[in-house]
Amino acid sequence: MSCIKFYEIDLRGNKIAAIENLGATQNQFDSIDLSDNAIVRVDGFPKLQRLKLLLLNNNRVARIARGLEEFIPNLETLILTNNRINNLQDIDPLATLSKLQDLSLHGNPVMTKPNYRLYVISKLPRLKVLDFKKVKQKERDAAKALFSSEEAQTAHASKTFEPDEDLAAAQQQAGVANGSTDASAMEEDGGAAGSSAASAAATSAPSQEQMVAIKAAIANAQTLEEIQRLEEALKTGHLPSEIRVDGGQGGDANGDKPDGMEVG
């Protein structure tokens, strides 16, 4: 039993990559602690009507499944501190959790979005505490004024959706590395080899569509190993065979086309 008199199961720090097999708990716990794991999606729950507190801080959560109200309808507190939720739309599935009062998204990239706090308050009007700060009435009024309709919420969220945002650093790093390699080659081979290296680097760099495809695959990955493999693909520029982009197939950036399945 926790200090707040909740019956709690502690599953923290077990390298768990997906929420599964919680049916074995037989709905006997008020609180589940899944902190410090490698979970990438909030889904996979059986019906846990008793669950009120869910701790998912320090994971790799980037997506929240819809329909959670069918499985954890009485959830009151959700802690998602230090995860990878990036866009305002990613928060929308929480709106159906009618008893959710305390939410933490502290340490997620979404916090940097314009009007983040007001958007969350508008989507979750019953929220009392957000990021460990009490929701004030003036914030509720401001949220209501800014997001007076569903259309206003959708328009604002779509403006802040940037699918390649978290790839910028990787692209920049790859560009710096390629530039250093080219400079070295030019010094050693009198310019000819350097030009060839620059051409090869430009050819091997992943296209914008390929970067978006890998980003989408990372967001939908179910295991830590899959995430690591896709992150390696970002560094090398070689698209995994199971990924296809619109108008083309996966492979390396030179256009090789191994068989694969489409990315949704």
Q: What is the mean pLDDT of residues 71-92?
A: 97
Q: What is the mean pLDDT of residues 224-236?
A: 75
Give the single-character DSSP code of 181.
Answer: H
Share of the chain above pLDDT 70, in %: 64
The whole domain housing 72 covers 8-159
E-strand ranges in the chain read 8-10, 31-33, 41-42, 53-55, 63-64, 77-79, 102-104, 129-130, 133-134, 238-239, 251-252
Do 143 and 92 sit in the same domain of this protein?
yes
User: Which among 129, 159, 189 is the end of a domain?
Assistant: 159
How far is Cα of residue 174 from the mean position of the Cα atoms in its chain?
22
Asked if residue 264 is part of any domain, the answer here is no
CA atoms within 13 A of residue 127's CA, in its CB half-sphere: 29
Share of the chain above pLDDT 90, in %: 52
Give the predicted TM-score (pTM) of the model.
Answer: 0.62
Q: How far is CA 236 from CA 68, 148, 166, 183, 247, in A?
A: 37, 45, 16, 19, 21
Do 202 and 144 sit in the same domain of this protein?
no
Give the single-character DSSP code of 245.
Answer: B
Mean pLDDT of the chain: 77
Do 178 and 194 sit in the same domain of this protein?
yes
